[in-house]
Amino acid sequence: MDVDGINIFYREAGPEEAPTILLLHGFPTAGHMFRDLIPQLADRFRIVAPDLPAFGQSDMPARGAFAYTFENIANVIDRFTEVIGLSRFAMYVFDYGAPVGFRLAVRHPDRVTAIISQNGNAYEEGLSDGWNPIRTYWQEPSPANREALRSFLAPDTTRWQYTHGVPDVTAVSPDGYSLDNFYLARPGADEIQLDLLGDYKSNVAAYPTFQNYFRTHKPRFLAVWGKNDPFFLPQGAEAFRRDIPGATVHFFDTGHFALETHAKEIGAVIRDFLAH
């Protein structure tokens, strides 16, 4: 779909007239991360899963033509929802998809029927020490500190993100991280991803705004969390209850990419949550 000159690839399933769930992926993946979840939900919901700009099959505009900030990515996805005709929808947000989705919710609280956060953070206590090299770059965006972040883009790091904290790593299909590494290896993708790691500080700065939205609007909220995530701690999931006392929190004995091992269980929890 052409969204103001940027082609956004998306997956869609389910009846068009059914309640909609917008699935927003994270780093360094794409809508394919939902390949096992979509069939769990598509009988009852309209599922729309776009690839963010520069991720997956969506366009990757040159850095000179598009500033890679989370605000700008949210602008594109905001317009995408309008172009495709999503007037009301629930959101499933993961990792980078969380600050994108939370920005949409802040802008259009009337459009959001519910939020499902899977390792999608909005609280300082949810950030682990794994963020320290990135924090260093936020504090001093020098070439050396930027260069130090390249290890986050390495194929072994992607594989580690998928398998860390997973009790049985044979349960993780190599398809997901192999495809992610293919996308990361495209010319120019590395600098774009370093730009976004640097701009992630804008999300932390926006946490008070997101929290105010939660307190003010108290959206229906479900946290489904891989409790062994090396980047987003369980405290981040529990913190949502502080601002939304009715929030539901489920932990799973897995890592960051919880859908790789627990898509069926998470799908069942979502179905139950949205049925009430």
- Reported as a single tens digit per residue, the pLDDT across 86-131 is 999 999 999 999 999 999 999 999 999 999 999 999 999 999 999 9
Q: What is the pLDDT of residues 198-223, one digit of tens each?
A: 999 999 999 999 999 999 999 999 99
pLDDT above 90 for 59: yes
Residue 137, domain extent: 2-275
Q: Give me the CATH number covering residue 223.
A: 3.40.50.1820
Structure tokens at 12: 């869609």
Report yes or no: 256 and 164 within 8 Å, Cβ to Cβ: yes
Strands 10-13 and 46-50: antiparallel
Number of domains in the chain: 1
Task: Tell me which amino acid residue 117 is.
Answer: S
What distance in Å separates the CA atoms of residue 53 and residue 30, rounded to the nearest whole number?
10
Q: Can you tell me which residue has the tokens 């996308």?
A: 183
Confidence of residue 171 (pLDDT cuts 50, 70, 90): very high
Residue 196: its H or E element: helix 189-217
Query: Across residues 234-253, what is the average pLDDT?
Result: 98
**Closest of 225, 229, 228 to residue 237, by C-alpha:** 225
pLDDT above 90 for 272: yes
pLDDT for 83 = 98
Query: Across residues 24-33, what is the average pLDDT?
Result: 98
Q: What is the mean pLDDT of the chain?
A: 98
- Rounded to 5 degrees, φ, ψ at 113 are -85, -25
Q: Can you tell me which residue has the tokens 């601002």?
A: 243
Q: Active-site residue among 25, 164, 250, 256?
A: 256
276 is catalytic: no
Structure tokens at 234: 């369980």
Query: Across residues 37-47, what is the average pLDDT?
Result: 98
pLDDT above 90 for 270: yes
pLDDT above 90 for 276: no
